[in-house]
Amino acid sequence: MKKGILFGIGAHTLWGFFLVYWKLLHGIPTLQLLGHRIIWSFLLLMVVLLVTRQRVDFRRNFNLRTILIYTIAALLIGGNWLTYVWAVNANLVVETSLGYFINPLLSVLLGVIILREKLRPFQWIPILLAFTGVIYLTVIYGKLPWIALTLAFTFGLYGLVKKLAPLGSLHGLTLETGILFLPALIYLTFSELNGTGAFMHTNIVTDLLLLGAGVVTTIPLLMFATAARQISLTVIGLLQYIAPTIQFLLGVLVYKEPFDQTHLIGFSIIWIALIIFWVESYMVHRAASEPIPELGEG
């Protein structure tokens, strides 16, 4: 149990500090960053499959339905990665954190709408509060916080697709990056041919950071997959707020992004919604896990 929690904390902490890594590559076009992230992640995952000798299991589940499901998943996670990297280097870190704060509540709502899951009456309160917070921030920004909503929707839908997917986390992520591998390779080749490619044309530090994009993408995902098998959903739900909290603090305290009292009100509404949601879920989970007294006890 303790090992699983440590893996979970480690994964979410790394995700939280991801933005520092992409900030170091702010001079590289976003599409090239995405291309390198996909290519090096896929190659690293293939090495992991070969080393762990899971290649046969991967091929056994290879069929048209699997391809279709993971093509959708690949497009969603690719869109999420692209939006996130672009927003970080556009100095919109605070808004990216908002997206990942909203995501858990959005995932619940998607489950209700698409999977016909039932919400407990008290769960509607945080959903409505989060909706109110988004409307408030829309008024403050003068426009929809589209970056936050794009991140929340792409990752929420990605989680929904993965819920329906037949493969495990390692095989699934390998197939997703494999689907995106050829388009990424074609784009990077085109960039190289027209003289705009960054890899091997800047400096050794940038080249190493581009090569490391696969490592920083893959390691926390594998850590999270390990944690998810060892800890309860309640603990997983609590840990998922580590990353956006780190992103938010870095955006405000380190990168000095604007965050005044009006923004604080909007974020606070959403934070209150998250607290209510988690406390309610925790109480229900705790009540369900308590042993039922036998007759004659008490």
pLDDT tens per residue across all 298 residues of the chain: 567 778 888 888 998 898 899 899 888 888 999 999 999 999 999 888 888 776 655 566 677 888 898 999 999 989 999 999 999 988 899 889 888 888 877 777 777 777 777 777 777 888 788 778 878 877 877 777 889 889 988 988 887 887 777 887 788 888 889 999 999 999 999 988 887 877 877 789 888 998 998 898 888 878 877 776 666 655 666 677 788 888 888 988 898 888 888 888 887 887 888 788 777 777 776 776 665 444 444 4
Task: Return the pLDDT at 86.
Answer: 93
Q: In 25-123, which residue ranges form alpha helices assigned H by DSSP?
A: 30-51, 55-60, 64-89, 93-114
Task: Return the pLDDT at 292.
Answer: 47
- For Cα atoms 139, 145, 151, give the angle at the middle one, nearest 5 degrees: 155
Task: Return the pLDDT at 297.
Answer: 43
- How far apart are the C-alpha atoms of 107 and 152, rounded to whole Å? 8
Determine which helix (DSSP H) or strand (DSSP E) holds 201, and give its type and residue range: none
* Unique residue bearing structure tokens 């899971």: 54
Token pair listed for 224: 């999270």
Q: How far is CA 220 from CA 120, 232, 243, in A?
A: 32, 18, 11
Q: How far is CA 40 from CA 2, 99, 207, in A?
A: 31, 26, 12
Task: Return the pLDDT at 237.
Answer: 62
CA dihedral 145, 241, 238, 159 (to 10 degrees): 60
Using an 8 Å Cβ cutoff, are 175 and 167 in contact?
yes
Using an 8 Å Cβ cutoff, are 10 and 220 in contact?
yes
Long-range contacts of 49-53 (CB under 8 A, 24+ apart): 49/170, 49/171, 49/174, 52/170
Token pair listed for 294: 């036998």
